[in-house]
Homo-oligomer: A and B are copies of this chain.
């Protein structure tokens, strides 16, 4: 839902698909594949082969006819384009259920990110240790970001606190914010915001289920 700005040569829609390609290449590599076809890679990534080829062409990569794509090379290339070559360090603000879930989510480390700090405002949460990290008070956020070199802030606070936390993260120097709070965040143009709103995703599904039920009128799945 949040608009994304990308370097001119790579359209935002392509950038948004690169992680899925990288994830799929990781699986192919784990299975021992050294080469893959655009058909196989596209199918596994859930896109049309033509779209995959077009996306990869923006990276200057073209599969060789009859040979396909070099899996290790393409992994390395997409990873580099996504900035994975630069270690990405995260701070999570809001150590409720979701913050704890994210702190304990192995997928974050597997995909090249390091959680370097947890921050909360609740007196009974600050000082506790979650996922091996001490929960720091909000007052410590700026120092935490600076000392740890965090580039991305993750907001899992209530929506009412999200903008204030975003302001603090921006002032502390993060370049990106991932927010789970159902609130629109206003940040400077040089900070990117990605928004995940679980309830919105459910409502979009509700729309389609609702439409389908009305459209097919009881015709079974």
**Residue positions of A touching B, CB distance < 8 A:** 1-2, 4-7, 10, 15-20, 22-24, 44-46, 81-84, 86, 88, 90, 96-98, 100-102, 104-105, 107-108, 110-113, 151-152, 170, 173-178, 182, 184, 188, 190-192, 194, 196-213, 215-216, 220-221
Q: Are A203 and B7 in contact (CB under 8 A)?
A: no
Which of these, B105, B174, B209, B211, contacts A151 with CB under 8 Å?
B209
Q: Are A205 and B221 in contact (CB under 8 A)?
A: no
Q: Are A210 and B86 in contact (CB under 8 A)?
A: yes
Q: Are B208 and A175 in contact (CB under 8 A)?
A: yes
By beta carbon, the residue of chain B nearest A22 is B203
Residues of B within 8 A of A208 (CB): 4-6, 15, 175-176, 192
Q: Are A203 and B82 in contact (CB under 8 A)?
A: yes
How far apart sit A207 and B110, CA to CA, in the bound complex (Å)?
A: 17
How far apart sit A40 and B160, CA to CA, in the bound complex (Å)?
A: 18
By beta carbon, the residue of chain B nearest A182 is B23
Closest chain B CB from A209 CB (angstroms): 4
Closest chain B CB from A192 CB (angstroms): 4
By beta carbon, the residue of chain B nearest A103 is B97
Given pairs A1-B16, A113-B199, 18 additional interface contacts (CB within 8 A): A1-B17, A5-B208, A16-B204, A19-B204, A23-B182, A44-B184, A82-B203, A83-B203, A102-B198, A107-B198, A152-B209, A176-B202, A178-B198, A191-B221, A192-B212, A194-B201, A196-B196, A196-B201
Q: Are A18 and B207 in contact (CB under 8 A)?
A: yes
Q: Are B23 and A206 in contact (CB under 8 A)?
A: no
How far apart sit A112 and B210, CA to CA, in the bound complex (Å)?
A: 14
Which of these, B44, B105, B216, contacts A98 with CB under 8 Å?
B105
Residues of B within 8 A of A198 (CB): 102, 105, 107-108, 178, 196
Q: Are B83 and A199 in contact (CB under 8 A)?
A: no
Residues of B within 8 A of A151 (CB): 206, 209
How far apart sit A88 and B207, CA to CA, in the bound complex (Å)?
A: 10
Q: Are B86 and A97 in contact (CB under 8 A)?
A: no
Residues of B within 8 A of A212 (CB): 175, 190, 192
Residues of B within 8 A of A44 (CB): 184
